[in-house]
Amino acid sequence: MGGAYNNLWARPLAHGDMIVASRLHLSKRYVCTTCALLQRQTEPPEAEPQIPLVPKKRDPNAVLKALASTVTPLKQPFILGRTPADPLAPSSRKQLVEFIMAREAGKMAAMDIINSNPKVFDAYKPFPDLMTGGKSETKTGQDKLKVLIKKNDVRALDVYNSLKKGGESIDLETENSLLALLAYNGQGNTIIEGGDSPSEENMVTVENEGAAESDPMRRKKKSTFPSVPRSVWSVDNSATKFFNEMKQKDGGSYGAMIQGLVKFKDFGKALSMYNEAREKALQMGVSTYNDVLQCIISDWDIEDHWGKTESVLSEMSNGPSPVQPNITTCNLLLKVASKTGGSSRSLSMEIMRELFHLGLKPTLTTLLQLLKNFVARNDCTVLPDITEYIENNQDILDIQDPVDMQFFTAAMSAARMLRDADVAIRLKNLANRDHWFLVDHPPFFFNNYFATIASCSRLSLLKDEFDAIVPSIYIPQSWLYTIIFKHCQMFNAPDVGLFFWKNLMKCKIRFNDPMVLVRAVGAFSMNTDPEQCSEYLEAIDQVWKKLMFLQEPPSQFMITVTIKLHLLCGGISEAWKHFETFEKYKITPSYLALSGLLNAHAEASDTPQTLKLLDMLIEYGYFLPPNVMQNIFAKVDISIENKSRIMRSFKQNASQMKQEYQSNTELEAHDDTKGEDNKKSEPTTNEIV
């Protein structure tokens, strides 16, 4: 092998020798490179300078500080249901109440688990002692009892009993707090099956039980919801036993019992306890008097509600020490005023004057009850004043009571009754994006808002508001489009009707009521511009497709409007196709459809079709005025015999229509006279007696 390589260098290179040489050259380069890499790897690395490690104390808030710049602080904490566009937002007040109750129940369940397992949750401290530097202080047994009462923990009763056995004295204020806890939680109450407490509306008394069974309108409807157990006040519950064992009682003790009785709707017992405390001349607080007013409102056995309320108010001002009413008192007084009938409005205004005289500030609940008292008498004139007050005092736009969320929905409904678009716009601006959480039912609110603007002929504003709100915040219902189409026809605005039809198709609103289609066609019928006929005809085609989808027969009006629009665009053949729909559904052709086709064929000088349409008008009993007939005869070539025949026939139709009108008028007059005679012949009350 070595000799072969030596001979290779000694002789001239051939073509094959050159290939071998090139391969040897490449192999030598690969070997040299590999050796260099191996040599570099075997060399010891350079020693890096050693940096001494200094332990650093970690900042516990380092992560929060790093993330602070990425967070935008909110003006208000997020609450589910504050924006109507939120897909998780409750769609009704009932769902919102269920959500709030579920959230509070979850908190109470979590606190109960934490309190029941203190060893597991030893690190949980809801109120850390920051002032003492985290050092625990020794607490007495009475302090522990107060903590349990503050946490709404009914185990406070066991602590109280153990303290009493140990001979420790407990002050009356703590006992009243414990009594209020037991009474409000209903510890030891009776649980029965059933929904709400029986009321006058759904009760069937013994006297009218037979009448209710015989009369289906008076029969009590069976609830479709399953019965929910409810707690009823028991005479031997924990609160009653604790109250009877108390050696010393004051107004706070009676107030705690009255509060629990009102919660569990035992109004008769609550009023009797109030009378007992009044006989003992005990001083009661404003919350107790408010509970008594709630009893007066809810107790159906009281006849003179306002007289009973006046006695309570005199007790507040003439008691051992006068009690200042608060805003809750004024709200309850407005509720009592609503039960006084015709004098409710004057009493409500008197209560409001007294409210401002006492320096109190009304809430949304106050204004809502004031508005209800007026609306109950079909009077909405107080709404502009209420709206102006809110605009000048926007700090009341906050939830202080769950009833506050009902104000804007009720106010917008009153604005629709008042037909005041300006008030509706002002209410909508008050309930802007920062206060959507105050609207308990956004669909009702926006439905009434748009219906109010439409009824006031503010159609341009209606289009702008629809673009801003639909469908990002609110998806309208089908009946709202029915109202809008109706007002578009009333105010001769077919272009606005076309806009809302396109919006209806864009939002894909589902509906089963064909009246939506009828009103839309009515809005399209006001169009008289031939240049825009193509858009209206496209909309009319969509209407017919929807009508076929609903499997509803067309009305005479819908067929007539379709023929009119086709004739306006010059489509006589399309108009005749829709004219055949009359015969298909056995509908009498309308005068407008026949006269429209007659004028179109007369303009085209189509004599056969003109004669055919004139005969159809005669056949269906219609009448053409003489001047209209002369115009038709001037445009087409009709013989004298046909002209005279047509004129005689129309004259006969006219005389027949006149006779029918006179007979109907005489019949109506006879009915009116007969009704007056019956009224005169009716005996008076004295004659019956």
Tens of pLDDT, residue by residue over 425-441, are 999 999 886 787 788 88
Q: What residue segments make up the domains of the chain, in order of their start?
A: 249-324, 330-456, 584-666
Residue with tokens 């009508």: 547
Q: Reply yes or no on whether the pLDDT at 469 is more than 50.
A: yes
Tens of pLDDT, residue by residue over 531-557, are 888 899 999 999 999 999 999 999 999
Other Cβ atoms within 10 Å of 235 Cβ, number: 9
| pLDDT the model gives residue 7 | 40
- C-alpha distances (whole Å) from 367 to each of 222, 417, 632 are 36, 17, 67
| pLDDT the model gives residue 36 | 43
- 89's CB contacts (< 8 A; 6+ apart) are 80, 81, 82, 83
Tens of pLDDT, residue by residue over 492-525, are 999 999 999 999 999 889 888 999 999 999 999 9
Tens of pLDDT, residue by residue over 564-605, are 999 999 999 999 999 999 999 999 999 999 999 999 999 999
Q: Answer for the pair 250, 176: CB distance below 8 angstroms, yes or no.
A: yes
| pLDDT the model gives residue 617 | 94
Residue from 240, 295, 304, 286 nearest 268 by CA: 295
Q: Reply yes or no on whether the pLDDT at 103 is more than 70.
A: yes
Task: Compute the average pLDDT of residues 462-480.
Answer: 89
Residue from 307, 387, 306 nearest 348 by CA: 306
Tell me the torsion sign for CA atoms 202, 208, 213, 216: negative
Tokens of 377: 């008498």
Angle ∠(496,497,503) on CA atoms, nearest 5: 90
| pLDDT the model gives residue 201 | 38
Half-sphere exposure of 269 (CA within 13 A, CB side): 16
Question: Rounded to an integer, what is the distance from CA 307 to the centroid of its chain?
Answer: 37
| 3-state SS string for 170-200 | CCHHHHHHHHHHHHHHCCCCEEECCCCCCCC
- C-alpha distances (whole Å) from 501 to each of 281, 313, 521 are 71, 58, 10
| pLDDT the model gives residue 532 | 87
Helix-helix angle 407-418:383-392, to 10 degrees? 130
Q: How much is the mean pLDDT over the chain? A: 80
- The type of residue at 125 is K
Q: Answer for the pair 481, 500: CB distance below 8 angstroms, yes or no.
A: yes
The C-alpha atoms of residue 331 and residue 362 are separated, in whole angstroms, by 9
Express as a percent the part of the chain with pLDDT over 90.
Answer: 50
Q: Reply yes or no on whether the pLDDT at 282 is more than 50.
A: yes
Q: Answer for the pair 383, 411: CB distance below 8 angstroms, yes or no.
A: yes
Lowest pLDDT segment from 99-103, 154-158, 376-380? 99-103
Residue 457 or 100, more confident: 457
Cis peptide bond upstream of 471, omega within 30 = yes
Task: Compute the average pLDDT of residues 226-240.
Answer: 79
| pLDDT the model gives residue 400 | 86
| pLDDT the model gives residue 92 | 62
| 3-state SS string for 595-658 | HHHHHHHHHCCCHHHHHHHHHHHHHCCCCCCHHHHHHHHHHCCCCHHHHHHHHHHHHHHHHHHH
- Greatest alpha-carbon pair distance for the chain in Å reads 160
Q: Answer for the pair 382, 371: CB distance below 8 angstroms, yes or no.
A: yes
Residue from 382, 292, 376, 389 nearest 332 by CA: 292
Q: Answer for the pair 261, 273: CB distance below 8 angstroms, yes or no.
A: yes
Lowest pLDDT segment from 174-188, 358-372, 550-564? 174-188
Please list, residue by residue across 462-487, b when 16 or more beta carbons sit within 10 angstroms of its beta carbon and e when fewer do.
bbebbeebbeeebbbeeebbbebbbb
What confidence tier does 684 reach under pLDDT thresholds 50, 70, 90?
very low
The C-alpha atoms of residue 146 and residue 174 are separated, in whole angstroms, by 7
Residue from 119, 116, 137 nearest 128 by CA: 137
Q: Reply yes or no on whether the pLDDT at 124 is more than 70.
A: no
Q: Answer for the pair 526, 493: CB distance below 8 angstroms, yes or no.
A: yes
Tens of pLDDT, residue by residue over 107-120, are 878 877 877 776 66
The C-alpha atoms of residue 626 and residue 226 are separated, in whole angstroms, by 73
The C-alpha atoms of residue 653 and residue 626 are separated, in whole angstroms, by 13
**Which residue pairs from 511-516 have beta carbons closer than 8 angstroms and sit at least 24 positions apart in sequence?**
511/478, 511/481, 512/550, 513/478, 513/479, 513/482, 514/547, 514/550, 514/552, 515/482, 516/478, 516/479, 516/481, 516/482, 516/485
What region, left, alpha or beta, does residue 398 occupy, with left being phi > 0 and alpha being psi -120 to 50 degrees? Answer: beta
Is the pTM higher than 0.85? The answer reads no
Please tell me whether residue 231 adopts helix, strand or coil conformation.
Answer: strand
Q: Answer for the pair 181, 156: CB distance below 8 angstroms, yes or no.
A: yes
Q: Reply yes or no on whether the pLDDT at 562 is more than 80.
A: yes
What confidence tier does 307 reach under pLDDT thresholds 50, 70, 90?
very high
| pLDDT the model gives residue 225 | 44
Phi, psi of 230 (to 5 degrees): -135, 155
Q: Reply yes or no on whether the pLDDT at 83 is more than 60.
A: no
Please list, residue by residue across 363-394, b when 16 or more beta carbons sit within 10 angstroms of its beta carbon and e when fewer do.
bbbbbbbbbbbbbeeeebebbeebbeebeeee
What confidence tier does 228 reach under pLDDT thresholds 50, 70, 90?
low
Lowest pLDDT segment from 138-147, 288-297, 380-389? 138-147
The C-alpha atoms of residue 576 and residue 584 are separated, in whole angstroms, by 13
Residue with tokens 């629709």: 416
